[in-house]
Structure 1
Amino acid sequence: MAQVTIEVNGRPYQVGCEDGQEAHLLELVRLFDRQVRAVSQDMGQLTETRLFLMAALLLADELWDSRSRMSGVQAELARLQSDRARIESRAVAALDGAAKKIEQLAAE
């Protein structure tokens, strides 16, 4: 397990992560640090615990919204795929009917 020193709101913290995940952890820390700093600017002086809690809640709210939007997009995708399958089936039937008519005309 790798040990990484991260910095949130100007304070260093030592955390562990799986080997090879250091860069990903640092990206997550940057995201969280930006949120913490934004909360600090908006709400003024809070204890570190309250500051981190508010930042975490705001990020959780963004995650909730993203998941909700993703569910809507997935439902729309499923509807469109169903529509596409129905249209393809109708197109195949139309082409099959046209081919039969052409064969009949050619036989005459």
Structure 2
Amino acid sequence: MAQVTIEVNGRPYQVGCEDGQEGHLVELARLFDRQVRAVSQDMGQLTDTRLFLMGALLLADELWDSRSRMSSIQAELARLQSDQARIESKAVAALDGAAKRIEKLAAD
């Protein structure tokens, strides 16, 4: 297990992670640090626990919004795929009908 030192709100923290995940963890810590610093600027002096809680809640809210948008997009994609399948089926039927008419005209 790897150990990484991250910094949140100007303080270093030693955190363990799976080998190879160090860079990802550092990026996550930077994201969290930006959120915590924004909360600190907006709300003034709070304890680290309070800052971290508010930062985590704001990030959780963003995650909730993203999941909600993704769910809507997935529903729209499913609807579009269904529409596409229906249109393709109609196109196949139209081409089949046209081919039969052409064959009939050629036979006459």
Q: Same fold (TM over 0.5)?
A: yes
Distance 1:64 1:5 in 2: 28
Distance 2:23 2:64 in 1: 25
Question: Post-superposition shift, 1:68?
Answer: 0.4
Taking the TM superposition and a 5 Å limit, the aligned residue runs for 1:23-42 are 23-42=23-42
Alignment-derived partner of residue 52 in structure 1: 52
User: Which residues of structure 1 form unaligned runs of 5+?
Assistant: none
The letter for the 1-side match of 2:101 is: K
4+ runs of 1 displaced by more than 6 Å?
none
Alignment-derived partner of residue 85 in structure 1: 85
Distance 2:38 2:7 in 1: 15
Alignment-derived partner of residue 98 in structure 1: 98
Alignment-derived partner of residue 5 in structure 2: 5
The letter for the 2-side match of 1:62 is: E
Alignment-derived partner of residue 72 in structure 1: 72
The letter for the 2-side match of 1:71 is: S
Question: Post-superposition shift, 1:105?
Answer: 0.4
Question: Post-superposition shift, 1:25?
Answer: 0.3
Distance 1:9 1:54 in 2: 13
Question: Post-superposition shift, 1:7?
Answer: 0.3
SS of structure 1 residue aligned to 2:3: strand
Q: Deviations over 1:29-59 (max 9, x none)?
A: 0100000000000000000000000000000
Q: TM-score, normalised by structure 2?
A: 0.99
Q: Deviations over 1:51-100 (max 9, x none)?
A: 00000000000000000000000000000000000000000000000000
Identity %: 89
Aligned residues: 108
Q: TM-score, normalised by structure 1?
A: 0.99
